[in-house]
Amino acid sequence: MTAYSRNKPISFDNHWMPFTANQDFAQNPRLVQSAKGMHYLTPEGEEILDMTAGLWCCNLGHGRDEIADAVHGQFKELDFAPSFNFGHPLSFELSERLAKMLPGDLNNLFFTNSGSESADTAIKIAYAYHDAKGDTGRKRIISRQRAYHGVNFCGVSLGGLTANRRAFGQWLPVDHLNSTHDLSRNSFTIGQPEYGGADMANELENLIAFHDASTIAAVIVEPIAGAGGVLLPPKGYLKRLREICDQHGILLIFDEVITGFGRTGKAFAAETFGVVPDIMTMAKGITSATVPMGAVACRDFIKEAVFSTSQGIEFFHGYTYSAHPLACAASLAALDIYDRENLWDRASGPVGDKLQEALQSLKDLPRVIDARGMAFIGAIEFEPLEGKPGAIGAALLKECWNQGIMIRGLGDAIAVSPPLIMEEAHIERFVDGFRKAVKVVL
């Protein structure tokens, strides 16, 4: 049954869509109406292969009955519980379960509703920690160029994507490391690039010397920069950041909103890369995107320091929908599926290898200057068109849709981040459709 069809046009006048060329979209809408497994269906019944897990988030694929049933059951039992001063059992169960899964002593969970809120929360936790230690001057954050930490004013200040920052100002004291993108030395690499890791991380020492460690609260990085173009950390980079932070009493925050929940071949990229941060943000795959939810985990010493300062409210922060019962139910059901179907490390198995080989095999296409990625995340970068930077990604996104494939366009690169249930046949379908799309566009 189609609610919308070409015979029943919908109005595009009232809905202002996020990060979308709205007027262009109204001319050439890309609507999806239902989804199952690896596919979306358009209102006209055309199948669209989901090579992006929605927005890097539907890690379990679509239409999971088990999650639907859990959310439905929870709705009937307890639709909402206030999150300040009252609680409900599921959020404690979920915290315990996540704490057991998370590396090191990232044992303490604070729930949010999104990746953006998780970024705000992580920075507030870092401030609260330093304040509790009497280090009240530590307010500066070191982030990175080409970083994406969401769209709230905190995330915009942390962020390193010019278009997202330009109009909105700098609202936190943040300085930015260079990105780890180095096409001259590291192009066409599967997995962690070979060159430059330690040098890139040592740049942090320059910023510390410039600002003084006593003014710096935290360093925040995505273990793999996602929206900035799928930029992997060169070998040694994250470990060196960890060492430098430790030397200077600076907290290390990993934004695992994209990299968490199986994308890199382990539950979290912190495990994949063997570096445990002090604070970790997550969202998206935590419920496989079925109900909005985010979370921030911190190590024991942080919570202990913050809790030691007060017997009353220890942390003046929270959201009405923190640990919403429906999100908790969705997350617990999702975690059951990851466990039961052995999806935590599936991306580092043969299908992940196949995806990476397939991306490398596309290097013969016109204007390709890089193919990169690991496990179930990857990108292909094109040489920009003269005078039209960023045009290729947008054009390929549209043409791939015409070919029945959903991809992400990131400037002059395209990214894929398929659900963890993807099979080899889907990769073949992607390669075929992508080649056709490039032929049309370039």
Write out the residues near ligand PLP by the rule CB under 6 A.
Answer: 114-116, 119, 148-150, 222, 226-227, 255, 257-258, 283
**Residue nearer to ligand PLP on the CB measure, 254 or 403:** 254
Q: What is each CA distance from 113 to 291, 339, 408, 409, in whole angstroms?
A: 9, 23, 23, 25
Could you tell me which residues come within 8 angstroms of residue 58 by beta carbon, excluding any fewer than 6 positions away? 35, 50, 288, 289, 290, 419
**Residue nearer to ligand PLP on the CB measure, 296 or 355:** 296
Least Å from the CB of residue 222 to ligand PLP: 5
**Residue nearer to ligand PLP on the CB measure, 95 or 116:** 116
Q: How far apart are CA 126 and CA 132, in angstroms?
A: 10
Least Å from the CB of residue 149 to ligand PLP: 5
Q: How far apart are CA 99 and CA 93, in angstroms?
A: 10
**Residue nearer to ligand PLP on the CB measure, 278 or 399:** 278
**Residue nearer to ligand PLP on the CB measure, 150 or 418:** 150
Least Å from the CB of residue 159 to ligand PLP: 9
Q: In what order do the strands lie in the sheet with 34-36?
A: 34-36, 39-41, 47-50, 405-406
Could you tell me which residues come within 8 angstroms of residue 225 by beta carbon, excluding any fewer than 6 positions away? 144, 146, 147, 148, 179, 180, 231
Could you tell me which residues come within 8 angstroms of residue 207 by beta carbon, excluding any fewer than 6 positions away? 142, 175, 177, 216
**Residue nearer to ligand PLP on the CB measure, 132 or 220:** 220
Q: Are 331 and 286 in contact (CB under 8 A)?
A: yes
Rg (CA), the chain: 22
**Residue nearer to ligand PLP on the CB measure, 132 or 268:** 268
**Residue nearer to ligand PLP on the CB measure, 255 or 412:** 255
Distance of CA 185 to the CA centre of its chain: 26
Q: How far apart are CA 298 and CA 99, in angstroms?
A: 10
Q: Are 285 and 256 in contact (CB under 8 A)?
A: no
Q: How far apart are CA 413 and CA 391, in angstroms?
A: 10
| CA-based torsion, 437, 439, 441, 442: positive or negative | positive
Q: Which residue is nearest to ligand PLP (CB)?
A: 115
